[in-house]
Amino acid sequence: MLRRLSMAIVLAASVGRAHAAIDAGAIAKLTGIAPEVQGGVAKVSVPRGDLHVTVDGVALAPFQGLTSWAAFEEAGDRTVVMGDLVLAEDEVSPAMCAALDAGLEVTALHNHFAFARPPVFFMHVGGTGPTDALATGVAHALAAVRAVRAASPTPAAGFGGPAVGTPSAIDPKPLEAVLGGTAQAKDGMAKFVFGRTTTAHGTPLGAAMGVNTWAAFGGSPERAVVDGDFAMLEGELQPVLRALCAAGIHVVAIHGHMIHEEPRIVFLHFWGTGPAEDLARGVRRALDAQRA
């Protein structure tokens, strides 16, 4: 009897927390969007009809998965937010950096469609804390998107900046000094690989099996490009994202490559252009953030 009573109390408390009153008025004021409130959850939505997206030649309405949203729910003495922002390619970096600067977490970045024109990406965000702080973070991310579209109604076809030097003629030595590793050199390019380890299916996996952070540099020393992956533990993701944002290196995907691995590894793909040593210093700051 005592055990059943205790379980009933726990269940009642859980239901009470799940349906605690959320401050919808504060969310509306801070985001500029009247939320829909249902079951203790307040959800703000922004249909992206301004993007005029076709998928496989079919014009999509926002109702078909092209709506940005953020949902807020009380959890004891704090609020939890989860959301998904629909973004054109040129909106990703501004929205991501704005969300991170405002204290939100960015938890995934990927596509939901194939043959989308213009291409659209989906950036998942989350966080816990005071309602006002979380709503302000969502507002800042949405404002960054609006600023991009106000400057250019048509999504950009590239990141911009000077063209990358051709043919590739990267000197690996200065980059080795910055990154603290030995480069693999090929056809004027330089690549650095830093191994990580995990276990899947009872088997240890390391760099040779694709569990690694890497960065490849091409172009010229003055006009270079870097692309690569970060392989991270979940707790390393946010510091690495913030470091790359600060360095002006674009994050182009965040997702998993495996299932059932322990510990879980999150992969982040990046792209940046500029002087080769500046790019290497940006990657090094992200590596340092990861190691910290």
Query: Pick from 71, 114, 74, 68: which is nearest to 91 by CA?
Result: 68
Kindly provide the b/e burial profile for residues 87-106, where b requires at least 16 CB atoms within 10 angstroms of the residue's own CB: bbbbbbbbbbbbbbebebbb
Instruction: Kindly tell me the burial class for residue 37, based on how many C-beta atoms sit within 10 Å of its own C-beta (0-12, 13-18, 19 or more).
Output: middle
Tell me the two tokens of residue 277. 């040593």
pLDDT at residue 2, as a whole number: 36
pLDDT at residue 78, as a whole number: 95
**Would you call 153 helix, strand, or coil by DSSP?**
coil
pLDDT at residue 161, as a whole number: 87
Q: pTM of the prediction?
A: 0.91
Binned average pLDDT, 10 residues per bin, the chain of 292 residues: 39 47 96 96 97 97 98 96 98 98 98 97 98 98 98 96 95 98 97 97 96 98 98 98 98 97 98 98 98 90
pLDDT at residue 21, as a whole number: 85
pLDDT at residue 19, as a whole number: 56
Tell me the two tokens of residue 136. 């302000």
Q: Please provide residue 221's backbone torsions phi and psi, each rounded to the nearest 5 degrees.
A: -55, -35
pLDDT at residue 12, as a whole number: 39
Which distant-in-sequence residues (6+ apart) come within 8 Å of 244 by Cβ? 250, 251, 268, 270, 282, 286
pLDDT at residue 8, as a whole number: 37
pLDDT at residue 1, as a whole number: 40
- Map out the domains of the chain with their CATH numbers: 2-151 (3.30.1460), 172-291 (3.30.70)
